[in-house]
Amino acid sequence: MRYLTVILVLFLISCSKENNDFSTVDKYYKVISLKTINGQLIDLNNDGQSNSNLIDELTNFSKNPCDLEVKYINNEKLFSFYIPKQYIFDGFVEFAQDGFGLMTEEEIFENLEIDDENYFIDFRKIAPNQYKLLLLKKYYDFSSNEFNDFELEIIYEEGLDI
- 2 falls in which pLDDT band (50, 70, 90)? very low
How much is the average pLDDT of 75-86? 91
Query: pLDDT of 63-75, one tens digit each?
Result: 666 789 999 888 8
SS (H, E, C) the chain: CHHHHHHHHHHHHHHHHHHHHHCCCCEEEEEEEEEECCCCCECCCCCCCCECEHHHHCCCECCCCCCEEEEEECCEEEEEEEEEEEEEECCEEEEEEEEEEEEECCCCEEEEECCCCEEEEEEEEEECCEEEEEEEEEEEECCCCEEEEEEEEEEEEECCCC
Its pTM surpasses 0.85: no
How many residues are recorded in the chain?
Answer: 162
Q: CA-to-CA distance for 119 and 149, rounded, in angstroms?
A: 10
pLDDT confidence of residue 52: 94
Percent of the chain with pLDDT over 70: 79
Q: What angle do CA 98, 103, 12 make, to 5 degrees?
A: 130
Closest CA to 103 of 133, 129, 130, 73: 73
pLDDT for residue 139 is more than 90 = yes
- 39 falls in which pLDDT band (50, 70, 90)? confident
pLDDT confidence of residue 8: 36
CA–CA distances in Å: residue 29 to residues 6, 100, 110, 138: 44, 15, 20, 23
Domain boundaries, the chain: 27-158
